[in-house]
Amino acid sequence: MLRTCLSAAIALVFCAGGLFADEIKGKVKSVDADKNTITVSVGDDDQTLAVAKNAKIVSLVGKGKKATLQDVSGGLGSVKVGADVTLTTAKKDDKDTVTQVKVEGTTKKKKDK
């Protein structure tokens, strides 16, 4: 009984961190890899957000059920202006900080036969 309660409490602590994360979907307006910032257009507004140094920069490759997330080589500096992105943010020192940049709409290159 004690083991079950302790396991449930530990699971709750790990899952609670994800509850405070927020997602922002938009189009990349600019990227400054030196300052670790990204500016995205969300509707009619532009938002400039700090990107954590250890943030994951991933790309959604493929379509449908076979789509997978892959790390983007080159990190933040390789995110192109105009790309559709989903930014996962977390509060750090009362400011939103990007913890993951997911680049949308990337497809696998076909191999030449």
Residue type at 4? T
Cα–Cα distance list, 56 to 10, 100, 102 (Å): 25, 5, 8
Q: What domains, with CATH codes, occur in the chain?
A: 21-106 (2.40.50.320)
pLDDT at residue 107 in the model: 52
Which tens digits make up the pLDDT trace of 30-49? 999 999 999 999 989 999 99
Instruction: Enumerate residue ranges in the chain where pLDDT < 70.
Output: 5-6, 8-21, 105-113
pLDDT of amino acid 105: 66
**How many residues can be counted in the chain?**
113
Alpha-carbon distance of 12 to 111, in angstroms, equals 45
pLDDT given for residue 13 in this prediction: 57
Note the pLDDT of residue 74.
87
- Tell me what pLDDT residue 80 has: 92
